[in-house]
Every structure is written in C-alpha cells, then in structure tokens.
Structure 1
Amino acid sequence: MSGGAAGTPRIGGDLVVETLRALGAETVFGLPGQHALGLFEALRRAPDLRLIGARVENNLAFAADGHARARLDAEPNGPVPVTPMIVSTGPGALLTLASLQEARASSVPVMGISSQVPVAGLGGGRHGYLHELPDQRASFRGVVKSTHVARTASQIPAVLRQAWTSAASPPFGPVWVEIPQDVLLAPATLPPITSAEVDVVRPAPLPDLVAEAARLLSAAENPVILAGGGVVRAGARGQLRELAEALRAPVLSTFGGKGAFGWEHPLSGQSWLEDWHSTEFMADADVLLVLGSGLGELSSNYHRFTPRGRLIQIDADHGVLESNHAAVGIHADLALALDALVAAVPRRDADGRAEAAVAGLRGRIRERIGTQRLDTEQRLLADIRAALPPGTPSFWDMTILGYWAWSAWNPDGAPIHTAQGAGGLGYGLPAALGAAAAAEGPVLAVSGDGGAMYGIAELATAAQHGLDVTWLVVDDGGYGILREYLTGTFGHTHATELARPDFAALAGAFAVPAVVSSVDSLTDDLGAALRTPGPSVVVLPAVLRMFEPTHLEDA
C-alpha cells in the first residue's frame, strides 16, 4: 500500500504508484527531478514496486525499452508487459525522445510519465516556471503512439489506464503521460487504487480478406513468406511455422523479425536482406506474404525490391498497409490472422522443391560472402554465440558487429535485440541493463567504442543495482560503420576517428570487473564474464569490416 507513516496524507503521486501497481507494473525506471518529487516520495512508500535508476534520461528510456522486450521474450503470450518510466519536466523529458523513437519504430510497450509545471502554467497561463516549455506534450506527439494529460488527481487513474491500454494494444508502442507538479503533491481524496482492469483490443482479420489471402496462397506455385517484427511481438512463432509447413513456403526474416522462424529450419531463408539474392528470391514469388513489416528501407534492400507477383500484407498497424507496395492489405493482430490462415489453407505434400530453393539461396549468399575475406568477422560472431549460456538475450548497438548480427546472427533460443528500428546510437548497454532487471540469468550488451561513450555513465547504474550484464566493447578507434560509409562514398573519411578512454580502467573505476581480450581469446574471456554474476566489461581491440552485399549487377 502507498501512503506514509500514521497521519501522513496520501498525495497525487500515491495515486500514480497505486494505479501502476494495479495495472500490473512490478518495476519502474525513474530519474528524479524537482517537479517529480511527489512521484518519488510515493515510490519510496511503495516497497513492492521496484525502482531502477539511470544517470541520463535517454538511457533510462532505453532501459525501459530493454525491460519490456525481455518480458515479451519471457512471456510472448502473457499479459502485455508495459514498462513505466518516470522523468521530470523539460530537459529531462526531452532527453527521452530519441529513445522513445526507437520504442515506437520497434513497437515496444513503454509508458513515459513526466511531471509538468503547475496547472497554472499550462495552456498559455502563468509563465516563468523552471523547465517550462510552451507545449511539452507537442514535442512527443510525433514520436510516441499517444499522449495523455491528467490535470486533477481524480483524473490520474483513468488517464494511466487509458495510456496503458494504448501501449498494450496491437501494434504495441510507447505512450506519454504528463501530470502537473501541484497535482502530484496535492492530497489525494480518492480511496487507494487496488485494481484496474485493462481491455486490450486485438484487431481480428475480416473474414472476406482472410478468404482472399487463403485463395491466393493455395493457388500459388511459389509462395514465400517475409516475417517481420510483428510476428515476434504477437507471440505468433508457432502459427508462422505451421503455416509455412502447410504451404511448403520458404520464410525470410526481417532484422526486427529475427527469431520468428527457426534459423536452421529447412524452409528458412534466414535474414540476409541486404543481399540481392534474397531480394530477388522474394521478388520471384508468385505470392509474397508479408507479416508484421512495412517493407521499409532495411527490409526492401533500400527500396530496390520490386515484387513481380501478388503481395499480401498483414499488420496490426493499418497505417503501413500498402504504404510501399500494392497489396491485399489485412489489418489484424498477427496471431489471430495466422490462426485464421492456418485453418483456411490446405496442407501440401513435401516434394522438396521449396527446401531445394532455400538451400540454393543460402548457398549463393554463403559463396558470395566467402569471397570477401571476412573470416575474422564471421569467427567473432560464432565465438560470441558459442560463449552465451542457453537462452541469454543480447542487445546490440549500431556498430559493425551489430550490423553483421542483423543478417548473420542465429537467434534460436537466444533472443537478439537491436536499435535498427530508429537507428540511434547508445542502445546496447542501457537496454541490456533494463533486460537484466527482468531476466534470471546474464544479459549481453555489444557496442563499438563510439556508441559506448553514449552510455558509459550507466556503468554506475550497473554497479549500484548489481545488474548481471556483460558489456562487450569492440574498440576500433572511431565510428567504424560511418568510417566505412564515408570511405566507400568519397574515398576518404572525416570526423570519425575518436579519442577514447581506457575502457577497462574506466570500468575498474566503477568497481566493475574488466578484461582486455583478443580475437583468439574472446570465447574464453566472454564466457567467463557471462558466468560471473554481476556487471562486467570485455574490451576487444579490433578493426572489422562489413560484408559487401550482392547487387543487381553482381547477381
């Protein structure tokens, strides 16, 4: 129960904490601020709600993102794990924007709760408050899924429930709630909130559209499936496999959809979507079924993909339907839609054609990569994968090894999460810390030395909370991927070479164990770190290269 010692009145902040607990929150990520004092006093009085801090608000929001993803991995068919994050007004709130952009692009259910200036300062009223913005809420409208404001204490439970429902309804996404400082501090006259039911609406597919999709797929001679992140978010892996095996349809996965389909399954075309062989494989399908993907830049080989057959697109976000290609568009929760399709299509006999086509695709890609002298990069990915204890999730920053992982990482039994939704730097460590607050075992974070500097302060958070995260920092002396982009485009680079600290010594200053590894010793060093409870850092000095995708002229 919230509330202070005998005689201490409950306040608006207590209503926030009580409602979050009633909605199902067990962990809150928060960073105090002057206008948010009422929230943090209420959190102090609620020992059953765990508070995880951070040193910078954008990292706090990444941590909430990682926590929500880890809980989705753990219970893909359970209650949607909305993760609350609490910050203060103005500068603190605005620092979360880039992180919330990632949550929105990747459909992650995060609830941002911010204090606001007193009610008198809202809506063009009294001015001159510290941290005041002309319209703070407007800064978030184009970034999050929905925004909400509680202007009185009585509005708090309803507003939080509305926001929670929005975050948890397919397509999942971050939401934003604002509550003025004086409302958070004012006495609460409502009784304690102990229950709050949420009515999440899962859009069901229209029967006529399911029938049309089933007709096209049943008649197709060469159907192919592209599985996006929507399949993972909907917990629809089982239904996807059942449909693919019924249709004998090869399955390729987007970078956000990694893990949706078994990596070594005979029908798995894996996720080499930047390779022209994969692009043409999808384009050659007489019916391409796109599940939970908008066929955006990274999923369409930078918009060079052009389907030559019919396209069926199913997504919980109706706004992406036909946004890039003409299709039979079906607005639906992926689990419900796949259930309906599995029931509607006949099972085909396995004649080996689809398996042979998939084997040919994987062989052509493997042959192409094999000519590029990238043994070190492929070895490192294999060594990292081998070092992970079973089920260990990993969180990857925007770094060369992370770009490799998009295409080449085998996610079976070891969930992988990347910042490829919005593409911002600094995701790896704070997201892994958030996941560690939900996980029972170790979590791996992978960053380059450039991206590592965005989150270096969170080593203090890792130490303070004893979070079981091993952070692999690949130190190549700069922004490696941008170095490659600039050099590839102009023949030289600029502003990519960086002064950086001794990462191992810096970790030691936070009392976090660290080791400087090598390509030859990485498996042993990383494995030892992952087996040791608590935070640790492994530094790998290495200059890596990206693979060169196959393009039309090379195929």
Structure 2
Amino acid sequence: MTHDHDLVLRPTAAQTEAALDPPAGRTGGDLVVETLAGLGATTVFGLPGQHVLAVFDALRRSRLRYVGLRVESNAGFAADAYGRVTGEVAPLLLSAGPGALMSLAALQEAAAASAPVLAIAGQVPVAGLGGGRHGHLHELRDQQASFRDVVKSVHTVRTQSQIPSAIAAAWESALTAPHGPVWVEIPQDVLAAPASLPVVTPVDAFPEELAPRPELTAVAAHLLANAERPAIVAGGGVVRSDASGKLLALAERIDAPVVTTFGGKGAFPWEHPLSLRSWLEDRHTTDFLEDADVLLVVGSGLGELSSNYHTFAPRGRVIQIEADLGKLEANHPALGVHADARLALSALLETVPPREDPAAADRVRAVLGRVQERIDGQGLALEQRVLAAVRDALPDAAPGFWDMTILTYWAWSAFDARRPNTMHSAQGAGGLGYAFPAALGAAAADPSTPVLAVSGDGGAMYGIAELATARQYGLNVTWLIVDDGGYGILREYMTEAFGEATGTELGRPDFVALAESFGVPALRTSPEALREDLAKSLAEPGPSVVVLPAVLRMFAPTHR
C-alpha cells in the first residue's frame, strides 16, 4: 500500500523554471515567511527586534497578517489564545536575548495548556555562537537552554537551506498530541543574507496520531462495563482534542457522572443530569470521586488544582487517558493509556457496552445540593451575583479569557461555560497578565465574535500597553477589570496564613480615564448595573473597558 506522502512529486516544467530563476531581493527572512505560508499560517504575532528585521521586512512582501503587540509576553499570550481557539499553530516572532526571554512566561502557560505556539527567534550571528563572549548585542551563552525546559522541542538553524525543514519539523511537533509551544532560532546573518534558494512551495508537516494500544482499550472497557459506581474526570485534553461530543456519548452510555477540571471547562454540558460541574475545591465532590470503584480520567494529570490540592485519594481503580507521557500516572497509580483523548474515547465507544444506573442522576443532584448549601452558608451573595451577571451578559459562543483573580477562582468552579473551548484562563502555569492579551489573540482569530477578558486591577497593569494594540487593530474585546485596590487573592492568602498582608496593596490609575486616553471607550459600573453595562459593551464593535470597583471574597475551599 502506498501513502500519498510516500510519493516523490516530480516538478512541472513551470515549477522547474521558477525554481531556477527565483525573484530578486529575497533574504533568509523570506524563506521563513514563505515556509509559514506554505504550512498554512495566515496570522503571525510578535514584536520586531534588531536580529529579526529581515523576517519583518519579508512580511511586507507576503500575504500573512501581522498582529504586533507591545510586550513579548503579551504577544506570546495572544499567540497562545489563537492556538487554543483555532487548534492551529500560532507563529510568534521574537528577537534575541531580552526580547526572547520576555516570552518565557507566555510559553510556560502555552506548554501547561497544550497550546500550539511556534516561536521563531533571532540569534546573534553564526560566528558568535558556541558559548563564548563576543560582545554581540542581546548575546546569551546558550539561548536555547533558557527555553529547553519550557517548550516541547527546540530546532536550530545555521544555514538558509535548513530554514524550511526546521520550521516544518517544529510545526509538526506543535500539533502532535499533546499540542504545545516549540522553539526555532535563526542567527541574524542567516536571516539577513540574500537568498538564492527557490521560493518555498507548500510544505507538508503531518502531526503523528497518538492512538491507544488495543489491549489497554480492552481492559479499560472491561473495567467500565463492570463498574458499580463509575465516574469521569474530564480535563483540558478533552477540549484540546475536540472530544467533547465523544465524552458526552460515553458518559450517557455508561451512566457515569462527569466532573470537568478547570482546564476542561465546557467539555461536558453544565446542566446535564450527569454533570457534577467543576466543584473540585469541595470535599463533597472529592468524596464522590474517591468513592467511585472505577474512575476514568481523560486529558488530565490530576495535578494540584484537579486533585483538591493533592488531597484526593482514590479508593477504586483509575483509568488515565493522557497524551502527555510525563503526566501518565504521575500522581496516582492507574491503568495508563498514552493516547489522544479523542482517539481513546472513540475506541472506548466502539468497545464498551451500554450500562444503566437509574440512581446516578440522583447522586449527582445530592452532591451539588450539598455543595450549594455549603456555599450559601458563607455569606457570598455579592460574588455569586457578579458571576451570574457576567454569565448573563456574555453570549454563549463568545470566548472568555480570565486572569488569576478572585472572580476567576469563582469561575473555575461555578461558571457555566456553555460551549467547549470558550473559557480559558492562566491556571496551567498561574502567571498574571494573561487575560487581555490572550483575548486580543482570540479576537484576531475570529473578528465576528465578541471576546471577554477578565482581570483584577493588579493583573490588568501587566497588559495596559495592549490597549494601544486593541485600538490599532480594532479588536472586538471587552475588558472587565475588577478593581479591589490590590492583589486580592494574595491578600486573602496572606491574611489567612499570617494574620495580615504585606505587599498586596496597590496604587493604580483611573482605569476609565486611562483607557479613554488610548481612544478606547470605558465606563465604571456597579454590581447592580454590571449585567447591562457589560452586555452593551460586548455588543459594540471594537475594544472597550468596563471597570467594576468591588472587593470580592473567595469561598472557603474544603480539603479534609
């Protein structure tokens, strides 16, 4: 049997003629841009810098759309979001040294969230490589070393002929399950030198499929079919692999209650009779999962947040489907199935017979009732009202991007993400400043849909410069800033642990006036007016800012 990609394609006479007489004025930068276009890229993010000016000059001669942000970490967050919402590789153009290093926080989040980002960075000239100190601007002894612990793979280029293959290999790596960020670095002189090579033609970079081993599928199917109290934990891998429909089909076939992790929000319908929702920081949910005699964990490593801060201790048999080999059985012994979530769930659907449990929905309602009773007893009506206002104002299909702030901590557990792949946060790596630049990346991916960003005033200060980006490109992002005068969640943590907080109180600007100085419409709202004000801002084209002065409190989690 012959596969298409095994065939040797012979150039036509016209292709040969074009290859022998490439256009004049091209550089190594053109080879980069031509390769990206040949791989199917349409949009690139980044910032120009001395070492990659040839790439930016080549963009001028291409059809690729460039979205330039003001800070490299923000450009990385935008690329991360573009990769999440489209499932496509998001190219990120960076300079060398300080500019490259500024992207590390964003690439760490992309790695934690399995977002396919292709970072292409400059390097000092070839003669300056090798670990010495040659005095080049932005020089690092080993730039790759700073990224190797963060990204999936590192690809180096030393000659122009290596550019197409290196970028294609990185592209394939980014899209191979688990998706993730990859790193390509190219020396300045390689990019700037005239190119005599032919124009790069469309490039094939097929990601490898990660299918489950059939003997493991057989065992998993047997365990689920014979379980008395099965349950499912659905993580971000279900969303990344577009497997929500298959998850729903399997849960209904075996009557298994489903909990979605914070990274898996939207993977299972919130109002479904089998939905335990996302109350992972609650002992009632943890007890229920511990009581399952067979627990199917799909696309989650059961890390700190997903395991109720490592207090979760399953008593039954665990089946873990995970594309990231390093996460397989990292926290709990399991029948480890190294596979893409979609392919593994497909295999189970072909293998597991129907199983009926009329009491399953009743047990789910009982757990959710106990959770709600506990929350209602904590005097947190304001917080629930604010979150409900956001939910009511946001169209079901509109994506939301949430920074590390108290309202986000609420949303992880209590927000109904009504569509898969619509609720995104920085909970993977946990850095500040994610929401607004990420929302800009999503808006660049789909200008027809409004996008919400949610930040606290502390996290908002990381992205203020990107108000200029939002205005420049007319991106449809509404930025909700909950202004409580400091780092609210850290204030709570420190007060609880030490009796008082230090370093958490912040001087901050008038966010409304500041946004308006960028030409971005802004308003100050209240909890009572939030629903109407937010809905109106989301309905208007272009960027906008809504500021909510409010001190919100976290609900008390229960571990033991």
Question: Shared fold by TM > 0.5?
Answer: yes
Give the count of matched residue pairs: 538
Query: What SS does the aligned partner of 1:29 have?
Result: strand
User: Partner of 1:429: helix, strand, or coil?
Assistant: helix
Give the whole-Å Cα distance in 2 for the aligned partners of 1:413 and 1:369: 25
Question: What's the CA shift string for 1:261-307, capped at 9, x where partnerless?
Answer: 10111000000101011111110000001101111000001100001
Change in CA separation of 1:162 and 1:245 when aligned onto 2, cut-off 3 Å = same
For residue 53 of structure 1, what is the aligned residue in structure 2?
68
| Aligned partners of 1:27 and 1:51 also within 8 Å | yes
Contact map agreement 1:120 1:126 (CA 8 A) in 2:
no
Q: Matches of residues 185-200 of structure 1 in structure 2 within 5 Å? A: 185-200=192-207
Partner residue of 1:19? 35
Task: Say whether 1:399 aligns with 2:415.
Answer: no
Conserved? CA contact 2:276–2:368, under 8 Å: yes
Q: Secondary structure at the match of 2:383?
A: helix
In the alignment, what sits opposite 1:75?
A: none
Answer yes or no: is 1:32 the counterpart of 2:48. Answer: yes
Q: Shift of the alpha carbon at 1:7?
A: 7.2
Q: Which residue of 2 aligns with 1:425?
A: 432
Equivalent position of 2:387 in the other structure: 381
Task: Supply the AA of the counterpart residue of 2:409.
Answer: Y
| CA offsets 1:405-461 (integer angstroms, 9 cap, x no match) | 111110013711000000000000000000000122110000000000001000011
Give 1:361 shift.
0.9
Q: Which amino acid aligns with 1:333?
A: D
Identity of aligned residues (%): 64
Note if 1:497 corresponds to 2:512. no
Partner residue in 2 for 1:71: 86
* Aligned twin of 1:84: 91
In 2, the alpha carbon distance for the partners of 1:454 and 1:90 equals 21
| 1:540 matches 2:556 | no
Deviation at 1:197, TM superposition (A): 0.9
Compute the displacement of 1:20 (Å). Answer: 0.3
Report the equivalent of 1:128. 135
Distance in 1 between the 2:235 and 2:224 partners? Answer: 18
Q: Which residue of 2 aligns with 1:265?
A: 272
Q: Match of 1:525?
A: 533
Q: Equivalents in 2 of 1:382, 1:530: separation in Å?
A: 16
* Residue aligning to 2:348: 341
Query: Conserved in 1, the CA contact under 8 Å of 2:311 and 2:559?
Result: no
Alpha-carbon distance, 1:189 to partner: 2.1
1:311 matched to 2:318: yes
For 1:353-364, list aligned pairs within 5 A. 353-364=359-370
1:444 aligns with 2:459: no
Distance in 1 separating the partners of 2:164 and 2:240: 27
Alpha-carbon distance in structure 2 between the residues aligned to 1:536 and 1:29 = 21
Deviation digits for residues 85-136 of structure 1, max 9, x if unmatched? 0010100000000110000011000011101100001113561100000000
How many angstroms apart in 1 are the aligned matches of 2:252 and 2:543?
A: 42
Q: Does 1:171 align with 2:178?
A: yes
3-state secondary structure, aligned to 1:474: strand
Instruction: For 1:502 and 1:442, locate their aligned partners in 2 and report how far apart those are by CA, in whole Å.
Output: 25
Aligned to 1:344, the other structure's residue is in SS state: coil
> Aligned partners of 2:184, 2:297: CA distance in 1, in Å?
33
Select 1:288's aligned residue among 286, 292, 295.
295
Q: CA deviation at 1:524?
A: 1.1
Distance 2:159 2:341 in 1: 38
Q: Tell me, yes or no, if the aligned pair for 2:32 and 2:163 is still in contact at 8 Å.
A: yes
One-letter amino acid of the counterpart of residue 396, structure 2: P
**Aligned mate of 2:331, from 324, 330, 337:** 324
In 2: Cα distance, 1:22 partner to 1:7 partner: 17
Query: Residue type matched to 2:82 in 1?
Result: H
Paired amino acid for 1:37: L
Q: Distance in 1 between matches of 2:526 and 2:467?
A: 22
Opposite residue 352 of structure 2, the aligned amino acid is V
Conserved in 1, the CA contact under 8 Å of 2:396 and 2:418? Answer: no
Residue aligned with 1:313, SS: strand
SS of equivalent to 1:37: helix
2-structure distance, mates of 1:125, 1:379: 59
1:340-386 Cα offsets, whole Å, 9 max, x none, are 1111111123x421101111111110110010111111111111111
* Structure 1 stretches of 4+ moved >3 Å: none
Superposed CA offset, 1:466-511 (max 9, x none): 1110000000000000000001111111110000000000001101
CA 1:7–1:162: 2 relative to 1, 3 Å? closer
CA contact (8 A) 2:132 2:141 kept: no
Give unmatched runs, 5+ long, in structure 1. Answer: 73-80
- Structure 2 unmatched ranges of 5 or more: 1-17
Once residues 184 and 58 of structure 1 are traced to their aligned partners in structure 2, the CA distance between those partners, rounded to angstroms, is: 23
Cα distance in 2 for residues equivalent to 1:179 and 1:389: 43
* Aligned counterparts of 2:436 and 2:559: Cα–Cα separation in 1: 34
Q: Is the 8 A contact 1:368 1:550 kept in 2?
A: no
- Residue 41 of structure 1 corresponds to which residue in structure 2? 57
Q: Following TM superposition, by how much is the alpha carbon of 1:199 offset from its aligned partner in structure 2, in angstroms?
A: 1.8
C-alpha displacement of 1:67: 1.1
| 8 A Cα contact 1:467 1:535, kept in partner | yes
Deviates more, 1:137-146 or 1:185-194: 185-194
**Corresponding residue of 2:126:** 119
Question: For the residues of structure 1 that align with 2:339 and 2:184, how far apart are their CA atoms?
Answer: 27
The one of 140, 149, 155 aligned to 1:142: 149
State the distance in 2 between where 1:158 and 1:208 align: 36
What amino acid is the match of 2:494? Answer: L
2-structure distance, mates of 1:279, 1:550: 9
Structure 2 CA distance for aligned equivalents of residues 230 and 389 of structure 1: 24
2:419 counterpart (413, 433, 438):
413
Kindly indicate whether the alpha-carbon contact (under 8 Å) linking 2:232 and 2:258 is maintained by their aligned counterparts in 1: yes
Q: Following TM superposition, by how much is the alpha carbon of 1:310 offset from its aligned partner in structure 2, in angstroms?
A: 0.6
Are the aligned partners of 1:28 and 1:83 in contact in 2 as well (CA < 8 Å)?
yes
Whether 1:367 and 2:348 are equivalent positions in the alignment is: no
